[in-house]
A and B are shown apart, each in its own frame.
Chain A
C-alpha cells in the first residue's frame, strides 16, 4: 500500500486536473444559459453535480467517497 505522501505525489496533479475540468464544465453551462434565449429553469443533472460536491468536501467522513458519489448519481433502489 502507498504511503499518504506517495498518494499525494502520484495523484495530486491528476485530481487537480479533474477538479478544474468540473469547474470549467459548470462555467460553460452558466455561459450557455446567459447566451440562451430560452434557458431551462433548472436541470436535475446540474443539481446532481452541485450536490455531489458536498461529498468531495467531506474531509472527515469515511473513505468511501467514490461509492457515495456513485450512489448519488444512481436511481433509488427502494
Chain B
C-alpha cells in the first residue's frame, strides 16, 4: 500500500531508512524544521539548515524514489531566544519560493514562556502575510495540555483559516480541543512518548479520520519511522478496508499538504478489476 509520511526528520536518519521506507510503500515525506538537540547561536546556522532540507535532502530521498518536501521555522525551543528568532524570521520568505517548501513549521510552544508565545505569534503573522500553510508542534508530556490550550488562545487572535493549520502531537487529552476549533490534528507515533499505533487507531475509531494526519516524526531521539507502517497494519487488523487505510495514511496527507500546489501528488482510489476469464491472455 502507498503511504505518505507527513512529518519526518530525514537529516537525522540514514539512507537505509529511506530505502526501507521506499520498500514499505512510502512515496513522499515532509520534513519540518526542528530542534537540532542543541541551541544554535547564529541565524546563519538556521539558513544553512533550511538549505539542507530544501535543496540537499530531496536529492537523498530521490535516490529511493521518494518525494521530499519541507517546512521552515524557528522551532519552539529555540524561540526562547527572541533576537535570534527575529533574525531568522527575516530570512524565511526567500525559502517560500523554493519548489519543495510547503509552509511554516514546526512552530508552537515548548514550555509556553512569554518569549515562545511572542515568536509563535510572529510566525503565524508571517504565514498569513505570505499565504503559507502552518504546522504546529504541541509540547511534550506534562506540558502538553497547557501548551495546546495556549496555542489555541493565541491562534484566536489571528484570522487564520483552520483548514490550513495542522496541530501535531495530539493525544487523548488534547485531540478534542483541537478538533473543536476545526484544525487538522496530528498523531505522532513514538516508541515511548507521544502516541502508540494502537492508541492512534483507538482515536481514529472514536473521532473519525476527517482532518487527521498520522506520522512517526522519526528524529535523532528514540523514534522509529516504521511505527507508521505498524499503525497501518493495526488499522487493517481492525477490519478497515484498503481504501479506508488509504484515506488515513495517504489521501489525508494529500488533502492537507496539497493546499500548497507544490505538493502535486494526486489522491488515490482503489479499483478492483474483474477480468473476463474467457478473454485471451
Chain A residues in contact with chain B, CB under 8 A?
Answer: 13-14, 17, 20-21, 24-25, 27-28, 31
Partner of B199, one of A13, A14, A21, A31: A21
A selection of 20 A-B contacts at a CB cut-off of 8 Å is: A13-B192, A13-B193, A14-B192, A17-B191, A17-B192, A17-B193, A17-B196, A20-B196, A20-B199, A21-B198, A21-B199, A24-B172, A24-B196, A24-B199, A24-B202, A25-B198, A27-B202, A28-B198, A28-B202, A31-B202
Interface membership of chain B positions 170-191, coded 1 if the CB is closer than 8 angstroms to chain A and 0 otherwise: 0010000000000000000001
Interface membership of chain B positions 72-112, coded 1 if the CB is closer than 8 angstroms to chain A and 0 otherwise: 00000000000000000000000000000000000000000
By a CB distance below 8 angstroms, the chain B residues around A31 are 202, 205-206
Docked Cα-Cα span, A24 to B198, in Å, equals: 8
By a CB distance below 8 angstroms, the chain A residues around B191 are 17
By a CB distance below 8 angstroms, the chain B residues around A27 are 202
By a CB distance below 8 angstroms, the chain A residues around B192 are 13-14, 17
Main secondary structure, interface of B, reads: helix
Chain B residues in contact with chain A, CB under 8 A?
Answer: 141, 172, 191-193, 196, 198-199, 202, 205-206
A32: nearest residue on chain B (CB-CB)? Answer: B205
By a CB distance below 8 angstroms, the chain B residues around A14 are 192
